[in-house]
Amino acid sequence: MALYIRQFRDSEYIGYFAMLLLSFSIYSIFYALEITSTEMYASLIFYKLQYVGISMIPVFLLLFSISYTGRVNWLSYGKMISLFIVPMITLILVFTTELHSLFHKTIYINEIGPFFGLDFEPGIYYWLYQFYSMILILFSISLLFKMWINNRASYGTQLSIMIICAMLPFSIYLLYLAGFFPAGLDPVPFVFILSVMLVYAGIFRYRLLDITPLARSFLFENMPSGVIVLDRKERLIDINDFAEEYLGVSASDLGRPVSEIPGYWPELLDLEYNGKEMNRVELKKDVSDNKMWFSATLTLLYDKHGDVHGRMIILNDITDRKLTEDILSIQHDLSIDMGKHSDLVSILNSLVEHLVTLEAIDSGGIYLVGDKGDLDMIVHNGLSPGFVAQCRHYDKDSLNAKIVMDGKPVYVTYSDMLSSNLVNTLSEDFLSEGLRSMTAIPIHFEGKAVACMSVSSHSYNAIPKQTRNGLESIASFAGEYIARARIQDALNRQKTDLENLFNSMDDLFFVVDEAGNIVSTNESARLKLGYSEEELTSMKVTDIHPEESKDRVISTVGQLLCGYLDSCSIPIISKDGTLIPVETRVTNGKWNGKKVMFGISRDISEREKHENEILDAKNKAEEASRIKSEFLANMSHELRTPLNSIIGFSQLLSSNPFGNLGEKEVKYSDNIMTSGQHLLDLINDILDISKVESGRMQLEYETFNSSHFFYEIESMVKHLADEKNIEIYGQSDSENFEIYADRLRMKQIMYNLLSNSLKFTPENGCI
């Protein structure tokens, strides 16, 4: 039998089973020789040789059971060697039993009965070995029995044969040890004959080693799909571990109608076979606080007569595929949706709205990274106002900002929050919001963090791996859209600021293309001219100028475009025909990629009005000044005539030509002469000033002697110098030269200079 089963050597356990049968054979053959021998020496040799088989039976039975039940991973090289240690020690002690009493204290031939078997008194190691053998045999039988429980519906007969073949010799073995059989008689080898007959029947009748429960167990129990087998009455007759785990059905439910099993999914009751192809449905179920997708496929089971024997339902976990499909679909829709928007807030709203449709994600917000590294939540979805208020802004030194700048995604589970692996206040915020898991995924563009996706779940304790992959994939392409939108947003703000600036200007702003079409204007231009924006952008620049100026306008526009001019002063005309004088300065540039002119026209109506008013006032003032000067000139001339008479007569009286004037009268005459002279000097000064102002001053040049001139000057200021005890030093006495000038005006200049010198020179000084 051991040689025959070698044809099944493609199975791993066949070698162990063959060695087990060989051990049985050695045990049986040498026991037969032992009981037929009459000599002690020969019987003892045969007895010792029996243990070559006896010592190996428990080991090979265990190796066969482990391999047969699919637990080959238990059999490491070291463990296998350790199993043979006790058998080898046993063989050594048995073959040297005459030298010690560990295995046998005494040994003798029992002559009672038809056989001459050896009898002995066991030593201490004998019982240790029997205990070791029983442990191995019991463990082997338990493995086979457990496999029978899980596979009795399909392979119950084969496994039953295996268990009986193991239990029958073991039971007799226990009875033998308990002393139920006559001394010197070992019944175990006789029972082996019955066991081998059962094995023989199993091999040829039930294909015991052809299709084994191991194959069924390996495929049925360990396949990555759930299998549910129903009979024609919709009773559960078999189920594998996969289906048990997710349906909440156990082996105790076998034989019950599935409609009465609480954990059985009602959707599976509606599966129908349409006769052409397998009916297949996809189900979304809550399993262990997680949502999972399954595909359920129904097939019919036929007997050998072609009649329907039952139904089989195959369950496949398609969660990964469904999540991947959903994520790909969301990514596709998101890329299209984000591409439609140009403003930043719309893009961020689109992003967060798509994120909360991912599996396990039901809330979140998008933070933008500021120039200083701080975070500001711009949009959010599914979060309470109080939570948003607490988490709206994070400084650059905060944990959240540091996570984003670190650049790596962070996933927080419910257990993380409970174990306080996070900052306590942060955990408290999450738990008070009812969040069970969250993630912070930085969004980069050109190697720099520009934003952060902070999304969370109120129902999942941890974000699934597929969702994590999807989030990170979305973050990988969202950065470009956000960066582009931020740039566009900045440009829009700049454009708005420029429009506000131009609209706040009192000047008229025009954008004119090369063809002379008005492209854009500011609000002041529209208000001043009385046209709407649509009207002006449909007009040419010549349409806002008077008809008689159009040729000049066309010529000027050409020179401005060529850069020959940068300003012009051509009046414009409003819608109601009002002529507006303007001064226009022009700069060439580009508008929406086209070459244009930027013109700023300043209304100079008020300026011209003020200039005219100033010119009139100037002319009037000059006329009044001229009249005043003429009046003063005439008046001073008229006043000098009587004064000359007064001065002349006073000089005559002062000289007392007739000698009839007293000293007091002469003094009075001197006073009259001095006062008159002073008044004449004042009148001369007034006359001179009036001549200068009226432009009628004329110099009378003459040649005179310098020494005499300076002497006169010194005499004029001498009495003033004496009053302050100031000495006057003249250095022109040694040189006498001629001077050609207006003697009177020069005398006035020198007198004024010396008078100022005397005024600011302290007493006892010198000039």
Per-range mean pLDDT, top range of 121-125, 500-504, 719-723: 121-125
549 within a domain of the structure (yes/no): no
CA pair distance 703, 684, nearest whole angstrom: 22
306 within a domain of the structure (yes/no): yes
Nearest Cα to Cα of residue 339 among 492, 443, 481: 481
Residue type, 500: N
- Within a 10 A sphere around the Cβ of 144, how many other Cβ atoms? 21
Q: Over 60: is that where the pLDDT of 112 sits? A: no
Is residue 574 within 8 Å of 502, Cβ to Cβ?
no
The phi and psi torsions of 379 (rounded to 5 degrees) equal: -135, 160
**Predicted pLDDT at 7:** 52
Q: Over 60: is that where the pLDDT of 275 sits? A: no
Judgement on whether residues 238 and 354 belong to the same structural domain of the protein: no
Q: List helix spans (H) across 452-569.
A: 465-504, 523-529, 533-536, 550-562
558 within a domain of the structure (yes/no): no
Of 217-221, 656-660, 737-741, which range is least confident?
217-221
Judgement on whether residues 12 and 110 belong to the same structural domain of the protein: yes
Judgement on whether residues 5 and 154 belong to the same structural domain of the protein: yes
**Predicted pLDDT at 558:** 81
Nearest Cα to Cα of residue 139 among 81, 203, 74, 85: 74
CA pair distance 126, 181, nearest whole angstrom: 18
The phi and psi torsions of 46 (rounded to 5 degrees) equal: -65, -35
Name the strand (E) or helix (H) holding 445: strand 437-445
Judgement on whether residues 234 and 158 belong to the same structural domain of the protein: no
270 within a domain of the structure (yes/no): yes
283-319, pLDDT tens digit by residue? 877 776 667 788 888 877 776 677 777 788 888 888 7
Tokens of 200: 């023989």
Three-state SS string across 473-490, please?
A: HHHHHHHHHHHHHHHHHH
Q: Residue 342 carries which DSSP code?
A: -
**Predicted pLDDT at 117:** 63
The phi and psi torsions of 262 (rounded to 5 degrees) equal: -60, -40
Q: Which residue spans within 46-177 are E strands per DSSP? A: 104-109, 118-122
Q: CA of 358: how far to CAs of 140, 194, 413, 444, 626, in Å?
A: 50, 65, 17, 21, 95
Please work out, in degrees rounded to the nearest 5, the angle formed at the alpha carbon of residue 209 by the alpha carbons of 208 and 215. 100
Is residue 461 within 8 Å of 437, Cβ to Cβ?
yes
Query: Region 243-250: what's the mean pLDDT?
Result: 76
Query: Region 750-765: what's the mean pLDDT?
Result: 84
Nearest Cα to Cα of residue 584 among 557, 608, 562, 606: 557
SS3 state at 661: coil
Nearest Cα to Cα of residue 97 among 112, 85, 107: 107
17-27 CB burial, b ≥16 within 10 A, e <16: bbbbbbbbbbb
CA pair distance 572, 579, nearest whole angstrom: 6
Judgement on whether residues 403 and 313 belong to the same structural domain of the protein: no
- How many angstroms separate the most distant Cα atoms in the chain? 215
CA pair distance 524, 508, nearest whole angstrom: 6
559 within a domain of the structure (yes/no): no
Q: Over 50: is that where the pLDDT of 215 sits? A: no
Strand bridging mode 279-287 / 236-239: unpaired
Q: Over 50: is that where the pLDDT of 10 sits? A: no
Tokens of 712: 């006169």
Chain centroid to CA 212: how far?
57
Q: Residue 423 carries which DSSP code?
A: -
514 within a domain of the structure (yes/no): no
192 within a domain of the structure (yes/no): yes
Judgement on whether residues 402 and 473 belong to the same structural domain of the protein: yes
Judgement on whether residues 127 and 201 belong to the same structural domain of the protein: yes
Is residue 25 within 8 Å of 49, Cβ to Cβ?
no
**Predicted pLDDT at 381:** 92
| 276 pLDDT tier (thresholds 50, 70, 90) | very low
Tokens of 686: 């007034």
Contacts of 60 (CB under 8 A, 6+ apart): 16, 17, 19, 20, 23
Q: By CB neighbour count within 10 A (0-12 exposed, 13-18 middle, 19+ buried), where does 264 fall?
A: buried
| 564 pLDDT tier (thresholds 50, 70, 90) | confident
Per-range mean pLDDT, top range of 129-143, 257-271, 404-418: 129-143
Residue type, 385: P
Judgement on whether residues 204 and 228 belong to the same structural domain of the protein: no
To the nearest whole number, what is the mean pLDDT of the chain?
A: 78
* Domain end residue (candidates: 675, 694, 713): 694
How many H helices and E strands in the chain?
A: 24, 22
Please work out, in degrees rounded to the nearest 5, the angle formed at the alpha carbon of residue 20 by the alpha carbons of 188 and 183. 15
Query: Region 495-503: what's the mean pLDDT?
Result: 74
Nearest Cα to Cα of residue 157 among 92, 112, 201, 221: 201
601 within a domain of the structure (yes/no): no
Q: Over 60: is that where the pLDDT of 749 sits? A: yes
Which CATH number belongs to the domain containing residue 619 in this structure?
A: 1.10.287.130
Q: Residue 220 carries which DSSP code?
A: I
**Predicted pLDDT at 213:** 47
Q: Over 80: is that where the pLDDT of 422 sits? A: no
Q: List helix spans (H) across 287-318.
A: none
CA pair distance 141, 164, nearest whole angstrom: 9
**Predicted pLDDT at 92:** 92
Is residue 375 within 8 Å of 400, Cβ to Cβ?
yes
| 380 pLDDT tier (thresholds 50, 70, 90) | very high
Is residue 442 within 8 Å of 407, Cβ to Cβ?
yes
Judgement on whether residues 705 and 690 belong to the same structural domain of the protein: no
Is residue 21 within 8 Å of 196, Cβ to Cβ?
yes
Q: Which residue has the higher pLDDT, 92 or 670?
A: 92
Domain count, the chain: 5
Judgement on whether residues 257 and 374 belong to the same structural domain of the protein: no
Which CATH number belongs to the domain containing residue 231 in this structure?
A: 3.30.450.20
Strand bridging mode 579-580 / 738-741: unpaired
Contacts of 124 (CB under 8 A, 6+ apart): 102
* Domain end residue (candidates: 468, 495, 522): 495
**Predicted pLDDT at 363:** 92
Question: Residue 755's domain spans which residues?
Answer: 701-760
Q: Report the DSSP beta bridge partners of residue 568.
A: 584
* Domain end residue (candidates: 143, 178, 213): 213
Per-range mean pLDDT, top range of 394-408, 411-425, 666-680: 394-408
575-613, pLDDT tens digit by residue? 888 888 888 888 888 887 788 888 888 887 777 788 788
59-88, pLDDT tens digit by residue? 888 887 887 776 666 777 788 888 889 999
**Predicted pLDDT at 696:** 61
Judgement on whether residues 199 and 257 belong to the same structural domain of the protein: no
Judgement on whether residues 193 and 287 belong to the same structural domain of the protein: no
